[in-house]
Amino acid sequence: MNIKFDSFYQIILSLLLLFSLLPIYSQNTKVYVSAHPDDWQLFMNPNAYQDLLNPENKVIFLHTTAGDAGSGTGNTSYYLAREEGSLRAIRFLCNAINNDLRQGDNMNKMEVLINEHLLLRYSYANAVVYFLRLPDGNINGAGYPIHSDKSLKKLFEGSIPSIMAIDNSSEYNSLDDLIQTISNIVTYESTNIEEVLFNIADTNGNINPGDHSDHLNSSLIMQKVAHNLGMKSVRLYQEYNTSTKPINIFENDFLIGAGTWGVTASGLSDNFHYSTWDDGHNAYIGRQYFRDVFLSDLEQE
């Protein structure tokens, strides 16, 4: 009997060890769509922090435009500084959640081929980051001369047939091409589309007045992606107008918001650009306004 019991015990231990070595696949995917690399920090936090808190979540930060403000490319370019700000913010949140993570600043960086487009992808803890680096379209969607005045607004409305990433890494030959590529990103990163949530700008002008063209058209594109994937609902955020709204984030979440913006600003200043730690940007700290909407209801607005 002792021999049989010991053998059974060893089998159980072996199985437990085997299961401990198997990869853990996230069941919930939260997608934060940031038209520029400093948007999600100001308008969609602490929700981003709360989603990262759950290790079963995969949290995707999808940056649609380079946010270069028409300044172009180069080793000390504005868009690279803004990207560094976003990456620092993501590392900060992951390490605020797990002080023993001790992963340093070494993010897993790779280029992935999705829908025949080469895309820059980072991962860190349970966060995944994409930079599509499409042209900054200017606040009204007119674009900038350095990018032949191209913008997401013009692509969405059909006044331009295609759009190229500012670093020439990929060209999207149509709006459908971009929609399909983003759809493929989501399916590539997800195990269950029913458990995917998009966090995007609110496109109702009465609720979210005066927002940036890149914010709104990134959201409109993601709404088409949601339809493409058969999703039922999305989460919509008020953005520029929240700076004048009452503070509604307090205690630890307020500290998280301030810290996230602080490290974002350091990414800019450390790369020889204005940090944006100023009264205008800091006014968004402590404010987050959003609503969950069924896509079928959104079509009626």
Q: Tell me the DSSP string of the chain.
A: -HHHHHHHHHHHHHHHHHHHHSPPPPSEEEEEEESSTTHHHHHSTTHHHHHHHSTTEEEEEEEEE---TT---STT-HHHHHHHHHHHHHHHHHHHH-TT---TT--EEEEEEETTEEEEEEEETTEEEEEEEEPP--TTS---GGGTT--HHHHHHTSSS-EE-TTSS-EE-SHHHHHHHHHHHHHHH-S-GGGEEEEEE---TTTSTT--HHHHHHHHHHHHHHHHTT--EEEEE--GGGGGSPP---HHHHHHHHHHHHHHHHHHHTTTS----SHHHHTTTT---EEEEEHHHHTT-
On the question of pLDDT at 190 being above 80, the answer is yes
pLDDT > 70: what percent of the chain?
A: 91
Q: What is the pTM assigned to this prediction? A: 0.90
pLDDT digits (tens, 9 = 90+) for 221-263: 999 999 999 999 999 999 999 999 999 999 999 999 999 999 9
Cα 142 from Cα 152, distance rounded (Å): 10
Query: Hey, what amino acid is at 40?
Result: W
| Confidence band of 18 (pLDDT split at 50, 70, 90) | very low
On the question of pLDDT at 41 being above 90, the answer is yes
Kindly list the structural domains of the chain, giving each domain's residue range(s) and its CATH number in brackets, ordered by start. 24-298 (3.40.50)
pLDDT > 90: what percent of the chain?
A: 87
Cα 136 from Cα 214, distance rounded (Å): 7
* Residue 170: HSE in the Cβ half-sphere, 13 Å Cα cutoff: 22
| Confidence band of 301 (pLDDT split at 50, 70, 90) | confident
| Confidence band of 11 (pLDDT split at 50, 70, 90) | low
Cα 232 from Cα 209, distance rounded (Å): 25
> First CA to last CA across the chain, in angstroms?
72
On the question of pLDDT at 81 being above 90, the answer is yes
Among 12-16, 103-107, 160-164, 260-264, where is mean pLDDT lowest? Answer: 12-16
CA dist 102 to 20, 49, 88, 94, 124, Å?
21, 18, 14, 10, 11
What is the average pLDDT score of the chain? Answer: 92
At residue 22, φ and ψ (nearest 5 deg) are -70, 145
| Confidence band of 6 (pLDDT split at 50, 70, 90) | low
| Confidence band of 27 (pLDDT split at 50, 70, 90) | confident
